[in-house]
Amino acid sequence: MSHLWRCLEIEVVFESASQWESHFTIRKDDFRKLSSELSKDSAEHKKMVESLISMIRTKTGSKDLPLRPKIFDFSKMTEVQILAELAGIERLAKTIYTNVREAAEKSNLEELLHKDRIQEFKATLDRLIRDETIHENKVLAFSNDLRTRR
């Protein structure tokens, strides 16, 4: 469960804040289009992770972990450095989703989830992993394109 809370933290705090900061630091229309796409997907991912958390049967009285704020300051970074930071955050999200998916495969999900939600749980994780892979690749491609323009 705590890994899913970290996933939520990445979507709500890390991705959202870094995408917002980069949107205003990198003043290129094509990057802003990519940034807007990433932000929209991150908002959708937040809902997906909240859905995953809601599927888990918890003991009465369990508490949500607080989301820790994160401030990004890209003002002294080059565009390539900012993009490397964004790609790293996408990679982190993908890694955590992959770890949760692998742990789910090794565990008895019937103890954690209702039987009718197990397939949905796995499918949601698979989609999140796929989306984060696509995001990382798009950010890296933009960074490579930016390097070749110089």
Are 33 and 142 in contact by the 8 Å Cβ rule? The answer is no
Per-residue confidence (pLDDT) for residue 15, from 0 to 100: 85
Domains assigned to the chain? 2-57+75-149 (1.20.1260.10)
Decide: helix, strand or coil at residue 149: helix
Output the CA–CA distances (angstroms, integers) from residue 136 to 27, 86, 89, 98, 104, in the order listed.
20, 8, 8, 14, 24
Decide: helix, strand or coil at residue 116: helix
Residues in the chain with pLDDT values less than 70: 1, 58-67, 150
Per-residue confidence (pLDDT) for residue 64, from 0 to 100: 59
